[in-house]
Amino acid sequence: MEVNGVLEQSFKKWLHTLGYAESTVYASTHYVRDFFKWLESQEIKELNQITKPTIKSYHNHLQTRKNKRQSGSLSQNSITGNINALKRLSRYLQETGKAIIEIDLQLPAAQGQTLNVLTQTEVQKLYHACGDSTLGKRDKALLDIYYGCGLRRSEGINLDLSDILLKEKLVHVRSGKGYKERYVPITETLKESLANYINTARKELLESNNQKETAFFLGVTGKRPCGVTAITRVQQLAKAANLDKTIGLHTLRHSIATHLLQSGMGLENVSRFLGHSSLESTQIYTHLKHEV
């Protein structure tokens, strides 16, 4: 069975529409071509002949296949890349009404992709550890931005007061990764929490230091804190909350991504929320959503 040229071009267009990186589009079509060549060797000539046992058999083939570029077998990352490409193909075929191919394989996480994620209960413990002091309210705002909005370290630290659009219930990220701006929606609860910080703790930090500062987050001197300060505060909160985990600002981002997937939010929406340039970056969270 050969990949039909029209099917391949349509698959490519679908991948581009969903925002996959060019490297992922290239790899996906390459892996799918290999899959179709294998199907041909198995005398499988129609899409509706592809079953769960077919996919498992192909997985076994990948595990025993020799590496064409170097001695030995395929790496686990390469095998995972092949199967993920088939999952994209399966979704494409189903969404375009061409066929339904079920791929039910549990794959290990790719090397280097182990993530530290908090449970929702642990996140609540962090909030409780903040307290109601001036800095405690500031720390709650840190959690609101890095967990509630899922911002990256530099995105949060670089926020100005004018970027918090309470009326519209949005946070404006002016310069995200790759210099791309985006707007992150916030809930009513998050809006009230951020407003409380702005109207109380932030004013107190400004007035006590006689400062005029545009930054949203303020340190004890009334000026914009550095990223290390924010990380230190979150680690201190984790210690106060008796969390037996080493966490940082990105842990909060990983956690909200996982929790959103657990709640049923689609991968594309989570990807947009996080400001990812492609779904490939977001997919590392999918294997975690049943583990926390």
List the chain pLDDT tens, one digit each, 292 residues: 555 677 888 888 888 777 677 778 888 999 999 999 999 899 988 888 898 899 999 999 998 887 766 566 787 878 888 998 998 898 888 888 888 888 877 665 554 455 688 999 999 999 999 999 999 999 999 999 999 999 998 899 999 999 999 999 999 998 655 557 889 999 999 999 999 999 999 999 998 887 788 999 999 999 998 888 899 999 999 999 999 888 889 899 999 998 998 888 888 888 888 887 665 566 666 655 555 5
The CATH number assigned to the domain with range 120-285 reads: 1.10.443.10
Grouping H, G, I as helix, E, B as strand and the rest as coil, residue 23 is helix
Residue that is written with structure tokens 């037996």 in the block: 244
Q: Which of 216, 199, 198, 212 is nearest to 159 (CA)?
A: 216
Q: Tell me, yes or no, if 56 is annotated catalytic.
A: no
Q: Which of 33, 125, 177, 272 is catalytic?
A: 177
Per-residue confidence (pLDDT) for residue 286, from 0 to 100: 60
Q: Tell me, yes or no, if 285 is annotated catalytic.
A: yes
- Asked, colleague to colleague, whether 5-95 and 120-285 share their fold, the answer is no
Per-residue confidence (pLDDT) for residue 187, from 0 to 100: 94
Hey, where are the domains in the chain?
Answer: 5-95, 120-285
Per-residue confidence (pLDDT) for residue 32, from 0 to 100: 92
CATH value of 5-95 in 1.10.8.60, 1.10.357.10, 3.30.70.270, 1.10.150.130: 1.10.150.130
Q: Output DSSP code: residue 73.
A: B
Q: Tell me, yes or no, if 69 is annotated catalytic.
A: no
Amino acid at 10: S
Q: Tell me, yes or no, if 152 is annotated catalytic.
A: yes
